[in-house]
Amino acid sequence: MLMDEKMDHGPILYQKKVDIEDDETGLSLFNKLAHVGADTLPKIIPDFLKGKIRSKPQNHEEATFTKIIKKNDVKINWNKTAIENDRFVRAYYDWPIAWTVLPDGKRLKIYKAEHVKEMHEPGKILIDKNKTLIGCDKGSLSLIEVQVEGSKVISAEQFFTGYSKFNDHSCK
């Protein structure tokens, strides 16, 4: 797009549709778009400079806006659906990383999880058979990679081993 005095406002020179995969993360989408841009830009700049590309105005009625995202904005709401929380975790990978508070008051960052249909009370932790689930509305999140405050990133199996004391307790 061409730049003007407003943010993300100028007329469009070229658009390309990009599919978002079911397991896409914020980081993988960023990298995918960077590659698409790097491949596309050298192909359209010569035509733009020769006057072969005409810009078209954006439909500002369809514009959406967001605020600057801070670490505290990505605390997981366990009353949301498991699918929403799965997407939330993937959206904020690799920064600032979605998190919750464990029963002992420590922050638990969730790097990787997946939604499952198994139902539990929202926020309730179930650690069983080398898996860790946290209840949501309409399902649960099955943890895959996490980081307890002050520790390194660990697998759900490692979390199960060290934190089984939280079984049947709730996140805050």
Residue 153 sits in a domain whose CATH number is: 3.10.25.10
| % of residues, the chain, pLDDT over 70 | 100
Burial class (CB in 10 A: 0-12, 13-18, 19+), 94: exposed
158 and 107 inside one domain: yes
Q: Please state, rounded to an integer, the average pLDDT across all residues of the chain.
A: 92
Q: CA nearest 168: which of 120, 119, 125?
A: 125
Residue 23: predicted pLDDT: 93
Q: How confident is the model at residue 93 (pLDDT cuts 50, 70, 90)?
A: very high
Q: Which of 65, 98, 120 is the last residue of a domain?
A: 65
Both structure tokens of 65: 């806006």
Q: Which structural domain range is residue 141 located in?
A: 71-166
Q: Helix (H, G, I), strand (E, B), or coil: what is residue 154?
A: strand
Domain count, the chain: 2
Q: Is residue 171 part of a domain?
A: no
61 and 81 inside one domain: no
Q: Which residue has the tokens 């996490």?
A: 146
Dist CA 107 CA 38 (whole Å): 38
> What is the tens place of the pLDDT at every residue in 99-143?
999 999 999 999 999 999 999 999 999 997 778 999 999 999 999
**Residue 162 scores a pLDDT above 90:** no
4 and 39 inside one domain: yes
97 and 56 inside one domain: no
**Residue 3 scores a pLDDT above 90:** no
